Structure 1
Amino acid sequence: MPLIFDIAVTHIAGRGRQTLVAVIGVAVGVGFSIAMAALMQGGQDDFVRQLVDTMPHVDISDEQRTARRQPAEDAFTTVAISGLRPRDDRRGIINPTAATSWLESWIPGRFAASLKTQGVIRYSSREVGAAIIGIEPERESGVSPIVGDFVEGSFSALAAGGNNVLIGDTMA
């Protein structure tokens, strides 16, 4: 063992520049590896914060309704009618109050109901598509990080009633 140790010390001490370059190369490689791992972890944390924490974990939508069988389908075997909406097709969740109370008894923790639709904003001959989301302010503050993102106004002012609207900084 002392002979192997003696040979190693002789090579390290005898080739000082080569040893220094090797040590610096390993240090830069390890530092770069640590920096990339930190960058990846930061990106993942930002992804979770931006997308996963702000998106609903449970989504309830209205049921798919099909129209009654049409007389042409009974008379002819080759007829297939698709895309027909029943006249009494009222969109929306049937009995939303019961669905909300069922969710309160089933889901541990907090939840807030929201209603979503698409809209168009027109301003000075420009049209921009917008997502319109209706919320209950007193419940939304318990599940959404939006309360900390206000630039002007406050989230509690929404609960005061009236036709209050929140718009993002891009839309503003």
Structure 2
Amino acid sequence: MTIQLTIAITHLVSRKRPTLVSLTGIALGVAFFLAVSSLMRGSERDFIKRLVDNSPHITVSDEYRNPQPQPASVLWPDGAVELRRVKPLTEVRGIRGHIQKLAFIESLPELRAAPVLVGSVVLTFAGRSEGVTLSGIIPAKMKGVSTIEEKLIHGSLDALAANPNGIVIGEGLAKKFGLAMGSVVNAASPGGEVRTLKVVGIFRTGNSNYDETQTFALLKRVQGMLDRPNRVNRFILQLDDPYAARDVASVIEGQIGYKAVSWLEASQDLMSVLLVRNLIMYSVVAAILVVAAFGIYNTISTIVMEKIHDIAILKSMGFHARDIRQIFLTEGVVLGLLGSLLGAGLGLGLMTLLAHVELKPPGATDLVFLPIYWGYDQFLLALSFAMASAVGAAYFPSRKAGRVHPVAILRGMG
């Protein structure tokens, strides 16, 4: 133990009450920092997980990001004749050459893809009609890109694969129509095609609009109903790393030409809100530690004032200004370190307590727990903030102590 550390600890121990107040301030600041940041980051991760899990990481549609140029304008860009009111040819919409394009997408590493044909149909049951979205899927591929299998409360995607005339509906739609497993409904396409479908699965996602309007059937059946043989209009993708979605979408769009939208692009406004919320959160919790640092500043300033004569004697004995500064900076480091360790323990207790809090949101049927983030990085961040505040608070009194002129002080003693 160096002489500077010995003197620093002696100063702190001799002033027990101010030292304890400073330690308490830092400990409470670190504890509240951890409790608030773990709750905010936990809620953010929970929100993103729900957003990511309930929607594809990337959606490739049968659209182009920019309008395709007309052949005439490509051949004659400087032509003087302009054709207007030309009726375009009616064609069956869909992703052209989807088998080859899907093969390319599936060749990319760390992702899973599934073809989907999305259209609108009218369901009719017991005299009641309702327009819904019908998605034609391949159940085996859908399991790898969607959580719909986990959301099923009755039936399974395997049952859909085994029944060519099966349909999977949401719980909200089932209640609205009074349907149950095995019920038979009629589905009419915009072209007038009518099919009789049997309910082989019921899901509940918690999103009432989705549960009332989304349905699933086999891809071949939907292609026949919508008169789009061998066509799909969506590729939905899931990645091992959701945050790589933007780069992967750019690669896919550049290769196949069709518009590829990542979940990050589709949720830009929400991500901006989360960024602003995090800035506000860290500003508030950092302010708590800054306020706690004033206790350290007050304690060390008082010690400097009381020990001014001792500082003069030390300087007259050969201590340099940097040695004096080191003594009081060491006091700040000791207070910051001890307060951080106590605060980390207290913060861990608060986080455990918050993790056991049960809530029942309005309209929900199940209890939920507060989402808590347990990552070690927030502990390091809290300790870093606390140590920076403590050292910053000790710097100004230590600089004042280093500037003491021993001759003037000792003459005053005489």
Structure 2 length as normaliser, TM-score?
Answer: 0.32
The whole-number CA distance in structure 1 between the counterparts of 2:33 and 2:166 is: 53
The whole-number CA distance in structure 1 between the counterparts of 2:10 and 2:132 is: 74
Check whether the contact 1:61–1:93 (CA below 8 A) recurs between aligned residues.
yes
Q: Where does residue 6 of structure 1 map in the other structure?
A: 10
Q: Report the structure number with the largest CA radius of gyration.
A: 2
Match of 1:148 among 143, 147, 150: 150
The whole-number CA distance in structure 2 between the counterparts of 1:35 and 1:144 is: 33
Identity of aligned residues (%): 28
Partner SS, residue 153 of structure 2 = coil
Alpha-carbon spacing, 1:37–1:88, altered in 2? closer, same or farther (3 Å): same
Shift of 1:140: 0.7
The whole-number CA distance in structure 2 between the counterparts of 1:85 and 1:4 is: 88
Shift of 1:58: 5.2
Amino acid at match of 2:28: V
Partner SS, residue 118 of structure 2 = strand
Shift of 1:166: 2.7
The whole-number CA distance in structure 2 between the counterparts of 1:85 and 1:21 is: 82
Match of 2:169 among 137, 145, 166: 166
When you count helix as a share of all residues, which structure comes out higher? Answer: 2
Q: Where does residue 133 of structure 1 map in the other structure?
A: 135
Alpha-carbon spacing, 1:130–1:26, altered in 2? closer, same or farther (3 Å): farther
Check whether the contact 1:118–1:131 (CA below 8 A) recurs between aligned residues.
yes
Amino acid at match of 1:107: L
Task: Spell out the pairing of 1:56-95 with structure 2 (5 A cutoff).
Answer: 56-57=57-58, 59-62=60-63, 69=72, 81=84, 86-95=88-97
The whole-number CA distance in structure 2 between the counterparts of 1:135 and 1:85 is: 33
Query: How many residues align structurally?
Result: 159
Q: Give a deviation string over 1:72-92, Cα, whole Å, max 9, x none.
A: xx776xx6859x661244321
Q: Where does residue 107 of structure 1 map in the other structure?
A: 108
Check whether the contact 2:121–2:132 (CA below 8 A) recurs between aligned residues.
yes
Shift of 1:5: 3.3
Amino acid at match of 1:165: V
Structure 1 length as normaliser, TM-score?
Answer: 0.66
Alpha-carbon spacing, 1:129–1:48, altered in 2? closer, same or farther (3 Å): farther
Q: Give a deviation string over 1:8-38, Cα, whole Å, max 9, x none.
A: 21112xx2xx444433332221111112232
Any stretches of 5+ residues in structure 2 without a counterpart? 74-78, 171-202, 213-414
Any stretches of 5+ residues in structure 1 without a counterpart? none
Q: Where does residue 31 of structure 2 map in the other structure?
A: 31
Shift of 1:154: 2.0
Amino acid at match of 2:169: L
**RMSD, matched Cα:** 3.8
The whole-number CA distance in structure 2 between the counterparts of 1:33 and 1:39 is: 10
Partner SS, residue 113 of structure 1 = strand
Alpha-carbon spacing, 1:92–1:85, altered in 2? closer, same or farther (3 Å): farther
